[in-house]
Structure 1
Amino acid sequence: MSISENLKHIKSQLGEGVTLVAVSKYSTNEEIQEAYDAGHRDFGENKAQDLEVKKDKLPNDIRWHFIGHLQRNKAKYITDFIHLVHAVDSFKLLREINKQAKKSNRTIPCLLQMHIAAEDTKFGMDESEIENLIADPKLTELQNVKVVGLMGMATNTDDSAKVNSEFKQLKNLFEKLKAATLPGNVNMEKLSMGMSQDYEIALENGSTMVRVGTAVFKS
């Protein structure tokens, strides 16, 4: 199938209000343009300098999502244009994004990444660390970032029950925080979970944003 057909197929599976982020980190500008020409606007990258180069050669109304592990010293490359940062895994990173966003006079939406996978190679905070970050009085001082939800990556396994359990854990924290009294710059509205191999399970668990690369750009 073509990229256009792949997009149509995946979007037909998504419920109302679910955003498809086409993960374009391994795709050429021509492939991204093909998806754009099919009407798609949300694309995800995981390297700041690659993204900086790509965005200058592609349409300026693309909504770029940063989905990888963002090093603090790389935040400055993306803060003047990024649509959403998916994987904030520390207060220090959030503070750096705020500092750089202030220079661009922007308020950047961010998701807090929870470590739900069995693999140590994946980044993210545990439940108590996320709750402590949100409860930190210093968070309200960060006027150029807004925490708009949570993100997580399940274990890379064929065991669907395990993946289901991990997504459920993230969804439970999301709902718990959603019901809590939150600071002014925190609003639980986006739940980013699910990739090419497990997005259907993520959707069953209430994901509002799936990050799909291979299933979009495969021929």
Structure 2
Amino acid sequence: MSIATNLLGIKTSLPEHVTLVAVSKTKPVSDLMEAYEAGQRIFGENKIQEMADKWEEMPKDIQWHMIGHVQTNKVKFMAPFVSLIHGVDSLKLLQEINKQALKNNRIIDCLLQIYIAEEETKFGLDQDELDSLLASNEFKELKNIQIVGLMGMATFTDNKDQIKKEFTQLKTIFDKTKNLEIEKCPLETLSMGMSGDYQLAIECGSTMVRIGSSIFGGRN
């Protein structure tokens, strides 16, 4: 199956309110261009340098999403063009994004990463950390970022009940936070679900899915 065929198959299966991020990390520009020609405009990368190189080379109507763990010293390389930063898990990182956004005269959209998995390897904030971050004076001082949603990654397991429990937990946190109507925090996006579990994520309330291998094939 071609990339275009895979992409269109997934797109037609998604509800209208769900945004598809094509996870293109490690894939060559020729693969991304095949998806682009088939109508895809949102691509997700997990390495800032690779994303910047592709941004230079590819059409400028593409929205680039940073979906990997972000090191503060690399933020400056993507600040001129990144559309959405997914895995924001600390005030320190938000402050750096704000600083670099200001330098580029931009407001950068971010998703706060919530820790829902039963795995030590995943990053993210718990409910208490999220609440205290959003209530802090330091957060209120940040003028060049906007928190447009939350994201999370379920445990890597075949146990569908566990995955569903984790997705449901994230949706509950999302709804609770949205109801607080915090300034600079217009929560619209709930990013959860990847190639293996995106249908379940959508059932649990996801509005954005990150799909790579089902579009581009396995990674080397």
Equivalent residue, structure 2, for 1:205: 204
CA offset digits 1:8-47 (Å, max 9, x no partner): 1111221122100000002110000000000100000011
> Cα RMSD (Å) of the superposition?
1.0
Inter-partner Cα distance in structure 1 for 2:179 and 2:125: 20
Q: Percent identity?
A: 53
Aligned to 1:111: 111
How many Å separate the matches in 2 of 1:2 and 1:132? 47
Corresponding residue for residue 181 of structure 1: 181
Amino acid at match of 1:3: I
Provide the residue aligned with 1:27 in structure 2: 27
Counterpart of 1:83 in structure 2: which amino acid?
S
Cα separation, 2, equivalents of 1:218 and 1:74? 28
Counterpart position of 1:36: 36
Using the alignment, how far apart are the partners of 1:16 and 1:178 within structure 2? 21
Matching residue of 1:217 = 216
Q: Please tell me the residue identity of whatever aligns with 1:171.
A: K
- Structure 1 runs of 4+ aligned residues shifted over 6 Å read none
Matching residue of 1:78? 78
1:36-185 superposed matches below 5 A: 36-182=36-182, 184-185=183-184
Q: Measure the CA separation in 2 of the matches of 1:33 and 1:71.
A: 28
Shift of 1:195: 0.5
Question: How far 1:69 sits from its partner (Å)?
Answer: 0.3
**Equivalent residue number for residue 191 of structure 1:** 190
AA of the residue aligned to 1:104:
N
Normalising by structure 2, report the TM-score: 0.97
Q: Give the paired residue count.
A: 218
- What TM-score comes out, normalization by structure 1 length? 0.97
Query: Bigger CA drift: 11-20 or 155-164?
Result: 11-20
Taking the aligned partners of 2:91 and 2:13, their CA distance within structure 1 comes to: 35
Deviations 1:168-203 (A, max 9, x none): 000000001111131x21111100000011111101
Cα deviation 1:42-68 (Å, max 9, x = unaligned): 000011111111111111111000001
SS of corresponding position for 2:188: strand
Q: Counterpart of 2:44 in 1: which secondary structure?
A: strand
| Amino acid in the other structure paired with 1:173 | I
